[in-house]
Amino acid sequence: MGMTLAEKILADHCGQTEVHAGQFINARVDIVMASELSGIVAIEEFEKIKNARVWDPKKVVFVMDHFTPAKDIKSAEIVKRCREFARVHGITFFEVGRAGIQHILLPEKGMVSPGDIIAGADSHTCTHGFLSAFGTGIGSTDAAAAMALGEIWLKVPESMKFIYHGKPPKWVGGKDLILETVRKIGVDGARYQAMEFVGDALDHLGLSDRFSMANMAIEAGAKTGLFEADEKTRAFCKKAGAREGKYHRSDPDAVFSEVHEFDVEKFEPFVAMPFLPENVKPVSEISGLEIDQVVIGMCTNGNIEDLRAAAEIFKGHKTHPRVRTVIIPGSQKVYLDALHEGLIDIFIEADCSVSTPTCGPCLGGHMGVLASGERCVSTSNRNFKGRMGHATSELYLTNPYVAAASAIMGHLASPSEVIKQ
Amino acid sequence: MSFESFHSITLGELLTAQAQRYADKNFLVLGDQRWTYANAEKQAAALASGLRALGLNQGDRLAIILPNIPQFVITVFAAAKAGLIVNPINVRRHKSEVAARLDKTRPSAIVTNAEHLEMINELRGDFPELKQVISVDGGANAKAFNDLLASTAALPPTAIKPDDVAAVLYTLGNSGEPRGAMLTHKSLIGNGAGIASTLNATPEDIFLGAVPFSNAFGLTPTILACTVAGASLAPLPTYHAAEALALIEKQKVTVHHGVPTMFALELNHPNFKSEACATLRVGIMSGAACPTELVTRVRQLMHCNLILAYGLTEAAPSVTMTHLQDGPITASQTVGRAMEGVSLKVIDENGDTLPEGKEGELCVKGYNVMTGYWNDSQATAQVLDKDGWLRTGDLATIDADGPVKIVGRKGDVINRGGYKIYPGTVEMVLRSYPGVKEAAVVGVPDAIYGELPCACVVRSAGANFSGEQLMLFATERLTDYAVPDRVVFFERLPRSGSGAIRRSALRERVRIRGHAWKFGKNIDTDAIIPARHCNTSDARELATHCMEDADPNFIKKMKRGDVIVAETNFGCGSSREVAPISIKTAGVSAVIAKSFARIFFRNSINIGLPILECPQAVDGITEGDEIEVEPATGTIRNLTRGETYRAEPFPDFLQRIIDRGGLLAYVEERLAERN
């Protein structure tokens, strides 16, 4: 019986030649990752384990990215505790000035290779599927256990195949493909499934588009979201100095629980309306809705390609006087590249604030928390009630083109309203 | 034999006296090493001086984190000579538990070994009064135990009286927090002497040190009874059945104390040979219910005339013991009579003394009762009255001629429509049925009777009797209302670290009843919290905020036994386990979810919260419905609508994690396997 890409990666990590959906396994992990938020609880759990040692300090990574640079004393204390733990156990530790958002940072540092299992105490760890790694979110107790054992327990998920046909129109990117996918199947549509993304449309898109898609697999309830590794993957990993990795692909007779096909030529930029990522409409249907804030970057669209997209719209324009715009590069490297390419100049001239890399406002932490009744267009991945601030605030999820156009127009806007084609 | 002369001395004086009497006799034996009574006295005296020379003063606390090794024993006597109060802590305690105990008594010094130094050094910052760390086998940032043994300093004048506190032993309060029972020299030695007398112990005896020295059972009946008798002690640093058996044979052990599990492990071990235990003469079995069948096997196969005993840390510890000359019923089915100098009574809920034969809470008074809990007058007042009676929290009957039967813990009594059922009585009958390996009886909620007794039974390998057969057997032997309403079979019973059955966990495995709370798609506990309260490391604080955000009155409305019916997107991220921890904190007993969904599901399992996978139940239940859940069988009943749903049974793998109370215990097992 053929195996899916997900099954092949898992089999490779539990010493078996074959595993299939429904099976319980203990899988060896290549990286255990936590932020300060999940790390602090993981540390407390880890210290409860009698005689526990970190199984392999090089493979345990703490990235301080949620409330950093520390937004208040409590955050500073949490980071301090994580820093001390990292020092004592010799694990890899990234923070202010040397960091970025974990899902952008680790691939960039060459720490993720195709075929790896990345267990992260952050639900968006599924992002690493953009490099064909089985990334999956775990809890803090899980993280503590994985830090001690170097493995996690897993139920092998079923896989769903998503096939995208055609060439995406202008202003349409990976974010729109995943928003439309979540709309179609719903926020539970891929519950405990591995989403496998394929199709010729991907040939027209870059790795940063794959990044946005894998990142939001969890928004459909998926265990992970995977792409087959190809030459683009190989080039990225080589540049980052990553290990060679393993280039698995699903067998022709692999069993998929569902197959969904999309004609992306009919797509236009999409918007996920409050309060669920499945509540998706084409931007043309809802343009005109007045907004107060725009946030561009963070993890989902925080790569250099995303900032280039935003800058393409902002160039020669200003943020609407009623609106405030926050740009958040995903890592120090992305920030520096943006600086070298002149993108930061464009943003500042467009009255945008440019922040240090942080998850910040995405989870209502800092750097742009919303007041009651405020409306924000964001390139992030979740728009649940209260996600970016007050419970009555509203969040609209879009790609960076739409976010930038909305900032300029002062209302939800299609990029074509700013740039006439 | 009587040891009355020891009743009015201190622990320091006890060793001095024995060193004069039995100077060259072996006191402690570990491998090829020997400590005579004279050696031990010399080392204890030098260590006492050395400890005082480090700046410790009379009345200071001295913590001990050591396995069962001779240095533990030397330290106990040295502390007594120096006027220090010992606080032993079990070596198996993890860091947070050690911290909780140090926090209680704030010791000035700690005697430990290299294995624990890293943890202690990490904790030192939080305990500024912990001035000295002494290691028996070297290591960084610690004074060497052997250097202190070489101390030539004179011991400063120390006035210690038998009524002074010699040890603070940690025990657990009702909510699991540690409490320090203060025991005097007099209570400890008096109790040790009483035990030595009951054992008919002599200088010819060789005691096995199997029970951890850090608890009262290891301290008094083992170390002190041995010392009082002038006998030898062969400690077992870490208990393994095979090593215990080897040591018994090698050292020709005559006295073997243990909890029932130890004896069962030894008898069932492939290395067990009856003839290798020929030197065994006597021993105490205590610490948990002692199955009659096991007692009989130990007496027959190990040649060990077991004494059954009842005690508690707060009573130094022994309260009652059977005697070697007792008849078979008393010797097998009771915990014996009150020890000399100890008074007993049984009281009802109003505190009134009950007549002989009536079941009620056992109270103890005597020289052996603690003077109180260290620095905790409130907890002391809850258990110790002004006349010196200690409430044990154990339910017992006292027969006319004195033997005591323990029938259970106060909180374990089952109330079946007004009839009180004592699980211990029922369990004893169930255990006598052939093929019953373990049995525990717990009360489960019932609409008519309030509670019904349910038998949770583990069958021996090969046994295949039915629940009906066992109930028929019980019907012939028990009052009708005490017969279990039903029998549920388990692979194993959930137990705490000390081996006690976790009855609350068992109760909730059998049946949970309460109201349903529905959570909708929009509640993302991972997201709402950060917006306002997230930057705290206290998961429970997060939990409170989490539920407040979801529903401001959630925690107030929630009652133990209630269940959460989780819509599918519930707790979508929750990588910090806010959702399951908050649910558990709020008192929810189980979760019914649509599927093996997301991180929430695994997090629930990882913290030991039962979660049932049943889409039909999620669809069929409306908020407020009265729900009954039986996690052990996967049955969900909607009592409001008269519907029954079947949940997917847990795979064995997940059940193992839940049974252990969460993932961490499972990790420890895996780590132990690797080592």
- DSSP secondary structure string for all residues of B438-467: EEEEEEEEETTTEEEEEEEEEEPTT----H
Cα-flanking dihedrals φ and ψ of residue B114, to 5°? Answer: -55, -35
Q: Is B548 on the interface with A (CB under 8 A)?
A: no
Q: Are A359 and A380 in contact (CB under 8 A)?
A: no
Mean pLDDT of B583-601: 69
Per residue in B426-452, pLDDT (tens digit) is 888 898 899 998 899 998 877 677 778
Q: Is A366 on the interface with B (CB under 8 A)?
A: no
Question: Which residues of chain A lie closer than 8 angstroms to B545, CB-CB?
Answer: none
The answer for A 163-192 residues in CB contact with B (under 8 A) is 187-188, 191-192
The answer for B 384-443 residues in CB contact with A (under 8 A) is none
What pLDDT, on the 0 to 100 scale, is given for residue B173? 65
What pLDDT, on the 0 to 100 scale, is given for residue A74? 85
Separation CA B278–CA B565 (nearest Å): 60
What sections of B463-613 are H helices per DSSP?
A: 467-475, 503-510, 525-532, 539-550, 554-557, 578-586, 598-606
Asked which of B316-325, B425-434, B568-577 is least confident by mean pLDDT, the reply is B568-577
Q: Count contacts between A and B (CB, < 8 Å).
A: 181
Q: Is B350 on the interface with A (CB under 8 A)?
A: no
Chain-chain contact of A191 with B602 (C-beta, under 8 angstroms): no
Separation CA A173–CA A404 (nearest Å): 14
More confident residue, B443 or B587: B443
Asked which of A178-192, B125-139, B443-457, B459-473 is least confident by mean pLDDT, the reply is B443-457
ipTM of the shown complex: 0.86
Mean pLDDT of B611-640: 86
What pLDDT, on the 0 to 100 scale, is given for residue B605? 79
Q: Is B535 on the interface with A (CB under 8 A)?
A: yes
Of the pLDDT bands very low, low, confident and very high (cuts 50, 70, 90), residue B386 is very high
Q: Are B139 and B145 in contact (CB under 8 A)?
A: no
- Does position B207 have pLDDT exceeding 60, yes or no? yes
- Does position B533 have pLDDT exceeding 70, yes or no? no
What pLDDT, on the 0 to 100 scale, is given for residue A5? 98
| Helix-, strand-, coil-residue percentages of chain B, each rounded to 5 | 35, 25, 40
What pLDDT, on the 0 to 100 scale, is given for residue B530? 42
- Does position A379 have pLDDT exceeding 90, yes or no? yes
Q: Which residue is associated with the tokens 């604030």?
A: A353
- Does position B543 have pLDDT exceeding 60, yes or no? no
Question: Which residues of chain A lie closer than 8 angstroms to B597, CB-CB?
Answer: 188, 191-192, 221
> In percent, how much of chain B has pLDDT > 90?
52
What pLDDT, on the 0 to 100 scale, is given for residue B532? 46
Of the pLDDT bands very low, low, confident and very high (cuts 50, 70, 90), residue B528 is very low
Question: Which residues of chain B lie closer than 8 angstroms to A187, CB-CB?
Answer: 521, 568-569, 572
> In percent, how much of chain A has pLDDT > 90?
87
> Pairing between strand A293-297 and A375-378?
parallel
What pLDDT, on the 0 to 100 scale, is given for residue B542? 56
Of the pLDDT bands very low, low, confident and very high (cuts 50, 70, 90), residue B418 is confident
- Report residue A166 CA to chain centroid gap: 24
What pLDDT, on the 0 to 100 scale, is given for residue B234? 98
What pLDDT, on the 0 to 100 scale, is given for residue B567? 66
**Which of B241, B258, B248 lies closest to B206 in space, CA to CA?**
B248
Mean pLDDT of B509-519: 79
Of the pLDDT bands very low, low, confident and very high (cuts 50, 70, 90), residue B612 is confident
Question: Which residues of chain A lie closer than 8 angstroms to B649, CB-CB?
Answer: none
User: What is the three-class DSSP state of A337?
Assistant: helix
- Does position B514 have pLDDT exceeding 90, yes or no? no
From the CA of B616, how many Å to the nearest CA of chain A?
Answer: 16
More confident residue, B479 or B142: B142
- Let me know the angle formed at the C-alpha of A59 by A55 and A64, rounded to the nearest 5 degrees: 115
Cα-flanking dihedrals φ and ψ of residue A31, to 5°? Answer: -140, 135
Per residue in B227-280, pLDDT (tens digit) is 999 999 999 999 999 999 999 999 999 999 998 878 988 998 889 999 999 999
Q: Is B577 on the interface with A (CB under 8 A)?
A: yes
- Does position B568 have pLDDT exceeding 60, yes or no? no
What pLDDT, on the 0 to 100 scale, is given for residue B560? 67
Residue B573 is classified by DSSP as S
More confident residue, B285 or B425: B285
- Does position B593 have pLDDT exceeding 90, yes or no? no
More confident residue, B612 or A373: A373
Q: Is A365 on the interface with B (CB under 8 A)?
A: yes
Asked which of A22-31, A76-85, B161-170, B412-421 is least confident by mean pLDDT, the reply is B412-421
> Pairing between strand B337-338 and B282-285?
unpaired
Structure tokens at A347: 């943003």
- Does position B638 have pLDDT exceeding 70, yes or no? yes
Asked which of A157-166, B22-31, B623-632 is least confident by mean pLDDT, the reply is B623-632
Per residue in A168-211, pLDDT (tens digit) is 999 999 999 999 999 999 988 898 899 999 999 999 999 999 99
Structure tokens at B537: 């490391």
Q: Are B11 and B166 in contact (CB under 8 A)?
A: yes
Q: Are B224 and B170 in contact (CB under 8 A)?
A: no
Q: Are A364 and A386 in contact (CB under 8 A)?
A: yes
Q: Is B602 on the interface with A (CB under 8 A)?
A: yes
Sort A247 into a burial class: Cβ within 10 Å, 0-12 / 13-18 / 19+: middle
Per residue in A305-360, pLDDT (tens digit) is 999 999 999 999 999 999 999 999 999 999 999 999 999 999 999 999 999 999 99
Q: Is A371 on the interface with B (CB under 8 A)?
A: no
**Which of B644, B645, B666 lies closest to B655 in space, CA to CA?**
B666
Of the pLDDT bands very low, low, confident and very high (cuts 50, 70, 90), residue B590 is confident
- Does position B523 have pLDDT exceeding 50, yes or no? no
> In percent, how much of chain B has pLDDT > 70?
87
Chain-chain contact of A390 with B569 (C-beta, under 8 angstroms): no
